[in-house]
Structure 1
Amino acid sequence: MTERYGHFIDGGWRDPANGEYFTSTNPATLEDLYQAARGDSADVDAAVTAAQRAFEAPSWRGLTATKRGKLLHRLGDLIAENAEELARFESLDNGKLLREMRGQLLTLPDYLYYYGGLADKVQGSQIPTNNLAVLNYTQREPLGVVGAITPWNSPLTLTASKLAPALAAGNTVVIKPSEYTSRTILRFAELASEAGFPDGVVNVVTGLGAEAGAALVDHPRIAKISFTGSTATGAAIAARTASRFIGSTLELGGKSPNIVFEDANVENAAMGVIAGIYAAAGQTCIAGSRVFAQRAVYEELLERVAERANSIKIGDPLAAETELGPLAFQDQLEKVNYYVDLGVDEGATLFAGGKRPEVELPGYFYSPTVLTDVNNDMRVVREEIFGPVAAIMPFDTEEEVLQLANDTDYGLAAGVWTKSLARAHRMASSLDAGTVWINMYRAMSPMSPRQGFKNSGVGIEHGFESMHEYTRLKSVWINTDESPLGDPFVMRG
């Protein structure tokens, strides 16, 4: 019988209020994996109520920041101890390579350790005033209950990047994971309880975005929403949270340029292009899907990328030799198919891939694809595909490629390949992207802040700056002069 999971609310398992469940499917084999509770507004209300109660309780509110940090360290230890189980769950859920998930799980505890260390480093400051008898200082306080809505492509890492700073700052959290990847987040919450977080501090309501996700965004006791996903959904969340005057951190889509200059190490650049668009089957917001190669090295880069794309080993993501697994679900496969066909209709040449590969498994597999004869006006170049599809274009000058790279609605990431230190700095300063990699691609750290420009998002994740996303600033004024007050109709300062 298929395993069944309820919600994780107030430190324990809870059946859905409506009694309904949905089924998660292995995208490689199309076999049913488990059932998860199909949450609705009643479940969300129960979770938010538990989180609010926990936020106000002495067992959490009364903890020092240092003790909160120790709990995060303990959670990091438990993730390390259960890394193989979590990596396997995630690979089965979304089709990402088991070896990649093992790599992510090796670094995931660092997110908890880093923010655990920051928990008691968030400080206010003393403000100078024009009256020596008046003391003015600031302090940062937790917001309350944070709603975290997380995606299916890297559920554990992207959940930790929200959960860790939120908890370090003293908030409580209700997580709504993607319906395609519920199990690892439920296990994550269970480990948080095992680590010693008080009941209600970490809660998970599973379900569909239009049901459980919408209810979480609209709940009156939610103090902030942190969301990772599509730009369209992010825009809707921004409008709904703004109408209630609460904040939102939104990590959204991308159409990132990966730029190769003629003085670059072309072999390394080709590997960077491969990593940027074919790792995780292109299902990443930072995918380097627009590749620009200076004309002198265009043919060489194109041949190297296409040759490697055609030799990528596609198959079971649990197998050690596999380099590319399936797309995460049927709709995503249909979307990739649609865009490749659209690109050809627009005039692009299918240089590699563009079809279902020969794989024994029946899942949602798609070949690594290269499109040429494309330009920046084509929809296939302008719109996010979220699949293993690279559009490769030549350019002549630095000024030209800078204009092309910035001619996009997105601004999440960019890559530059050059041996010129001066050019590297010029490009890093001029590219309209929140993250710029030079002679590398697809690197991240909990210590390094990430911010999307333009339609790629609002707010900061990772780094010390993200702690401010989960706190509010209070200014405190204290009059130390006990003599009688003067004119009541004059502003003090």
Structure 2
Amino acid sequence: MTLELDPAQLQEIVQEVLARLGNGLPGKAGKDLPGVYDDMEVAIERAAAGQKKLVKLNLEEREKLIAAIRQTLRQHAEELAQLAVAETGMGRVADKVLKHHLVADKTPGTEDLVTEAWSGDKGLTLVEMSPFGVIGAITPSTNPVATVFCNSIGMIAGGNSVVFSPHPGAKKCSLRAVELINEAILAAGGPEDIVVSIREPSLEKTQIMFQHPRINLLVATGGPGLVRAVLKSGKKAIGAGAGNPPVVVDETADIEKAGHDIIAGSTFDNNIPCIAEKEIIAVESIADYLLFNLLKNGGYHVKNQGDIDALAAKVLDEKGKPKREFIGRDAAVIARAALGLELPPDKRCLLVEVDREHPFVQEELMMPILPLVRVKDIEEAIAVAVEVEHGFKHTAIMHSKNVDHMTRMARAIQTTIFVKNGPSYAGIGVGGEGFTTFTIAGPTGEGLTSARTFTRRRRCVLIDALSIR
């Protein structure tokens, strides 16, 4: 079920929530938002107390809490999408609504906790999945609400409580997510403070989290600097870092489908997902026809070199890195600012042909600017893809009907997600099989995280009994 609200009602709700979560709220130690505290030490202690109550619940009782969280996300999917876009200026409301329903429907719960058993002449051995305890989680500004809900479901399923340190640029929508999660848990009869956060996130407060003895696991979803920081903390850490996903198109591909899927994937939420197609590497023999189909499906070709240079000068800083004010913005906004161009309403992506060394190819832009690099054959295409992916081991995409080509690409690039013949978002379960997550841990090797990722494996051995064969 979803909320039936007209745009005026929805805007009124968003403004009310922004006002409640704004800096004008009193800074007292008591809570006026459930689960939200001023002091990190207090938040952690409250989460530790909440986890002691949570771990006493059986799996069926945990699943009731998770069901309530899923339902509240479905009910508030559009409100939270509006709030996230209004606060961060990034992404598209419709795509964030889809993300929120995806998290509600396809994030694994307690069913992900699978017991292993060995039975024989010497008895019975079980391996069970037990909680870490209190998890410290750092969440991004790009997918703030989806990450908070997705992490909460998986971590609670594993029997953990979680302390969130949200990105300061997305604190209002993140705190609203924490508020709604707490309301859902309490309404379902669960304990308070198993999902908490701080009202004013900061580097100093995050460092307290890193060092606090009650935090048993750190989970960081963000850039490479954040991942390096958690790995240096001395604690068990899961790091979901940056990506720069290449999409390779060879001469055997269904070019019409490739054109459609690449635009669909690269423009989803204005290219801010780390899995989204960030550069195209096309074999020369099909590049023109691919470009035709990209334009047919919503791309706009920036042809003139002077315009390409002007675009780069506007959206990149002096080091060739993307400027924050253009990340996740609509193609129309970028075209107007950089080129003085009013894009037709059906154009969602700016296409540029450049060489492989161009910053548009080498950097993860997270905006709907899609560079195309021509190569002579599949060998060169794979080599370039490996180069520009930079060893992040995040995501790669390929359009091909040649199984040998796909196999060679997979072995060479070694990404956590490898999507063949579909849009990138199929890799997290949109139009593809499998569960979803918004914490994809390439740097630390856990891959697509789920409830079992947030558990400790414990072996229980009984000697000379319960083998009934």
Shorter-normalised TM range = 0.7 to 0.9
Deviation at 1:438, TM superposition (A): 1.3
Q: Residue 46 of structure 2 aligns with which residue? A: 50
Match of 1:296 in 2: 285
Partner of 1:399: 379
Query: Counterpart in 1 of 2:13?
Result: none
Aligned to 1:374: 355
Task: Tell whether the 8 Å contact from 1:111 to 1:164 is kept in structure 2 after alignment.
Answer: no
User: Residue 88 of structure 1: SS of its match in structure 2?
Assistant: helix
> Which deviates the most, 399-408 or 140-149?
399-408
- Give the Cα separation in 2 of the matches to 1:439 and 1:459: 25
**Offset at residue 223 of structure 1 (A):** 0.8
- What SS is found at the alignment partner of 1:474? strand
Q: Secondary structure at the match of 1:410?
A: coil
Structure 2: 5+ residue stretches without partners: 1-15, 303-313, 324-333, 343-347
2:3 paired residue number: none
User: What is the CA-CA distance between 1:164 and the residue it aligns to?
Assistant: 1.3
2:84 matched residue in structure 1: 90
Shift in alpha-carbon separation, 1:274–1:337, aligned structure 2, 3 A: farther
Taking the aligned partners of 2:369 and 2:65, their CA distance within structure 1 comes to 42
Change (3 A) 1:5 1:452: closer
Deviations 1:377-423 (A, max 9, x none): 45543332333332211122222222221222322111111233554
CA deviation map 1:203-241 (0-9, x unaligned): 02143442332322222211111111101221121111x
Does the 8 Å CA contact 2:103/2:150 hold for their aligned counterparts?
no
Helix, strand or coil at the partner of 1:287:
coil
Q: Is the CA contact 1:44–1:215 (under 8 Å) kept in the aligned structure 2? A: yes
**Contact 1:335–1:385 (CA under 8 A) maintained in structure 2:** no
Shift of 1:471: 1.1
Residues 340 and 62 (structure 1 numbering): CA distance in 2 closer, same or farther, change over 3 Å?
Answer: closer
**Is this contact kept in 2: 1:76–1:109, CA < 8 A?**
yes
Note if contact 1:143-1:224 (Cα within 8 Å) is conserved in structure 2.
yes
> Of 360, 367, 384, which aligns to 1:387?
367
2:396 maps to 1:414? yes
Q: 1:64 aligns with which of 33, 58, 62?
A: 58
* Larger RCO (CA within 8 A; separation ≥ 6): 2
Structure 1 residue ranges (4+ consecutive) displaced by more than 6 angstroms after TM superposition:
none
Match in the other structure for 2:175:
186
Matched, 1:253 2:242: yes
CA distance in 1 between partners of 2:322 and 2:76 (Å): 39
Note closer, same or farther for the CA distance 1:278–1:247 as it changes in structure 2 (3 Å cut): same
* Partner of residue 104, structure 2: 109
Structure 1 pair 83–136 and aligned structure 2 pair: CA distance change class (3 A): closer
**Pairwise CA distance, 1:480:** 6.0
Give CA deviations for 1:458-486 in whole Å, capped at 9, x if unaligned.
42334xxx3332111223344569xxxxx
Q: Which residue of 2 aligns with 1:322?
A: none
Pick one of 197, 204, 207 that aligns with 1:211: 204
Could you report, residue by residue, the CA deviation over 1:341-371 in whole angstroms, capped at 9, with x for unpaired residues?
9xxxxxxxxxx959536599xxxxxx94444
- Higher helix content, 1 or 2: 2
- CA shift for structure 1 position 143: 0.5
* CA shift for structure 1 position 184: 2.8
- Aligned-residue offset at 1:190: 2.3
Q: What's the counterpart of residue 161 of structure 1?
A: 150
Contact 1:290 1:391 in 2 (8 A): yes
> Hey, what does 2:328 align to over in structure 1?
none
**1:289 and 1:391 in contact (8 A); partners too:** yes
Structure 1 residue 176, shift from structure 2 partner: 1.5
Closer, same or farther: CA 86–122 of 1 in aligned 2, 3 Å: same
1:84-483 matches, within 5 Å, as: 84-95=78-89, 96-111=91-106, 114-118=108-112, 121-126=113-118, 132=122, 135-195=124-184, 196=186, 197-240=190-233, 243=234, 246-305=235-294, 308-310=298-300, 335=317, 338-339=320-321, 355-356=337-338, 368-375=349-356, 377-407=357-387, 408-441=390-423, 442-443=425-426, 444-445=428-429, 447=435, 451-453=440-442, 456-462=443-449, 466-478=450-462
SS in 1 for 2:164: strand
Q: How has the CA–CA distance of structure 1 residues 232 and 447 changed in structure 2, closer, same or farther, with 3 Å as cutoff?
A: same
Q: Structure 1 CA distance, aligned partners of 2:440 and 2:192? A: 32
The percent of aligned pairs where both chains have the same amino acid is 21
8 Å contact from structure 2 (residues 219, 237) kept in 1: yes
Paired residues of 1:51 and 1:203 also in contact (CA < 8 A): yes
**Structure 2 CA distance for partners of 1:81 and 1:208, relative to 1, 3 Å:** closer
281 and 451 in structure 1: CA distance in 2 versus 1, 3 angstrom threshold:
closer
What TM-score does the superposition give when structure 1 sets the normalisation length? 0.72
Residue matched to 1:33: none
CA-atom RMSD, angstroms? 3.6
Name the SS for the 2:109 alignment partner: helix
Q: Where do 5+ consecutive residues of structure 1 fail to align?
A: 8-12, 19-35, 313-331, 342-351, 361-366, 482-493
Structure-2 separation of matches of 1:452 and 1:479: 38
Distance in 2 separating the partners of 1:470 and 1:164? 11
2:27 alignment partner in structure 1: 15
CA distance in 1, matches of 2:322, 2:267: 15
How far, CA to CA, are the matches of 1:6 and 1:199 in structure 2?
23
Conserved 8 A contact 1:229-1:253? yes
Deviations for 1:317-339, whole angstroms, at most 9, x for unmatched residues? xxxxxxxxxxxxxxx96659944
Tell whether 2:70 aligns with 1:76: yes
Closer, same or farther in 2 for the Cα pair 1:204/1:335, shift >3 Å? farther
- In the alignment of these two chains, the number of paired residues is 405
**Which residue in 2 is equivalent to 1:3?**
19
User: Offset of 1:264 from its aligned partner?
Assistant: 2.0
Q: In structure 2, the residue corresponding to 1:310 is in which secondary structure?
A: strand
Deviations 1:170-203 (A, max 9, x none): 0011111222222332222222222233111110
Distance 2:64 2:200 in 1: 31
Q: Residues 76 and 188 from structure 1, CA distance in 2 versus in 1: closer, same or farther, beyond 3 angstroms?
A: same
